Structure 1
Amino acid sequence: MTDLTTSSAAGRAPSGPLPIVPDVWHLPFPVGHVYLVRLSGGGFAAVDTGVPGSAPAILEAVTRLGGKPDALRQIVLTHSHIDHMGSAADLVAATGARVLAGAADAPAVSGTTPEPPPVLTPIEEPVIEQVLSGLAEAGTPPLKHVRVDVELHDGDLLDDWPEPARVLHVPGHTPGSTAVHLPAAGVLFTGDLIAVGPDGRVILGPFNVDRDAAVASFRRLAALPGVDALCVPHGEPLRTGAARALQEATPETDWL
């Protein structure tokens, strides 16, 4: 099981930013980790924003990395769920950062269309109930929608990252789920398509709108060359050995 059922202090980072590779840091949260990237043109990008209420911890982390709070320039949302876009509006209000999200998820991020519900397996049904009750018990503030400045498509490259950062459209968890690959550094930001269990095993993330599409997208990411570090939103990131862990994964049988 991943950390998806953690219920305490959902918007509070238990520790400061932890290095993954040069210019990439992991900011752990009880629900929905955030990753910070130092941009080549100055400032930082955030990959996801945690649940509502996480903005102060994210801005504090930027400061600890040597930037002013308004040094946050980009917010890259891997998808539209509350534990990923939850603090984007507050961060935009505080910093003026641009919001980037997959084109098919942009309407849900902005609030112009409803978010499609997941198709749950029997094992997932009690898990999602635990997640929702945990967020409520933690006093998570209401979700604020936010305008998407840049709609991302498969094959796009992100501006000003420390190396060419390739956008991958990996539908299944949501229609517009997005991964980001740094091939030279061997880093992959997976979004909720992939999680890591407490035993270190790489698994398919739960709560997918299209499970078959999610498995196919998982297999696409597993086939990428040279992936060594896996930046997942739930569970501990893998700082090395990700390629073998992905090859040994069995997403077809997870959550059944």
Structure 2
Amino acid sequence: MDLVEVLPQRLHMLRFPIGQAYLWQDGGALTLVDSGHAGAADEIEGAIRSLGLLPARLERIVLTHCHRDHVGSAGELSARRDAQILAHRLDAPVVRGELPVPDPVLSDWKLPVWERGLTVPAAPPTPVHREVEDGEELGFGDGAYVVHAPGHTDGSIGIHLPRHGVLFTGDCAAAVGPVMLGVFNVDPGRALASFRRLAALAPSVACFGHGDPLTVDTAAALAAAAAASDPSVPPSATPQAD
């Protein structure tokens, strides 16, 4: 796992072989956005300690959606540190193991990628202590707000910190190469509408579920990618802004 500073003394990315999580600091109080794969709890706590912080100060884990590479270590970290797990109402039953993970709609170009599958273990059933809705304030980041962004999953969310200009997109958007609409969506049309809603927030920092955070010309890059995106074609075939 790599630890990457995004905003000094505020925000770090924890990059795993597949996917990533983000650590936000409010003084000594800590919030984790997503939690990596199952079995990563020790690595996450080691990263926290390497910053001179205390894992015991982890107060909450906000899940952007129900997929294994985002949920995996949340339950173990919560049990160790009494941290509250938050997820959208529509994804919470999947996180808890009460409903199956929904299958995506796959166009032809996505099939070979999907068939290779995820190489991280399935997430165990995980408690959700607070089910959230669009517009709710989450208690960190001087005002962090839920932006319901359905399409990747029904309960996918973005998290917007307007006072800091930070947006966590989950897998609604990605930056594996150029900024793009996320893939493996249960409803591609709704995913595109959600991407455009997130882009309209015009953040100065965008933190993706996959790919490096965007910190330069962020609002313009998101807007251009959202305007140009077509979920039916590969990203390489989608026009990109200069």
TM-score, structure 2 normalization: 0.90
Per the TM alignment, residue 203 of structure 1 is displaced from its structure 2 partner at its CA by: 0.3
Alignment of 1:7-18 (within 5 A): 13=1, 15-18=2-5
Which of 175, 188, 201 aligns to 1:224? It is 201
- Does 2:58 correspond to 1:72? yes
AA matched with 2:11: V
AA matched with 2:40: S
Alignment of 1:120-139 (within 5 A): 120-132=106-118, 135=119
- The number of aligned residues is 232
What's 1:168 paired with?
147
Gaps of 5+ in 1: 1-12
Instruction: Say which structure, 1 or 2, has more relative contact order (CA 8 Å, 6+ apart).
Output: 1
**Are the counterparts in 1 of residues 59 and 82 from structure 2 also a CA contact under 8 Å?**
yes
What's 2:47 paired with?
61
Which of 81, 100, 106 aligns to 2:67? It is 81
Per the TM alignment, residue 89 of structure 1 is displaced from its structure 2 partner at its CA by: 1.3
What's 2:167 paired with?
188
What is the rounded CA distance, in whole Å, between the counterparts of 1:92 and 1:60 in structure 2?
16
What is the rounded CA distance, in whole Å, between the counterparts of 2:196 and 2:33 in structure 1?
22
**Which string of whole-angstrom CA distances, capped at 9 and with x for unpartnered residues, describes residues 131-183 of structure 1?**
43xx1xxxx44421111001110000011x13111110010000000110111
Runs of 4+ aligned structure 1 residues displaced above 6 Å come to none
Identity %: 43
What's 2:128 paired with?
148
AA matched with 2:116: Q
What is the rounded CA distance, in whole Å, between the counterparts of 1:224 and 1:122 in structure 2?
32
2:106 partner SS: coil
What's 1:177 paired with?
156
Which of 198, 221, 229 aligns to 1:251? It is 229
What's 1:109 paired with?
95
What is the rounded CA distance, in whole Å, between the counterparts of 2:142 and 2:70 in structure 1?
24
- Does 2:11 correspond to 1:24? yes
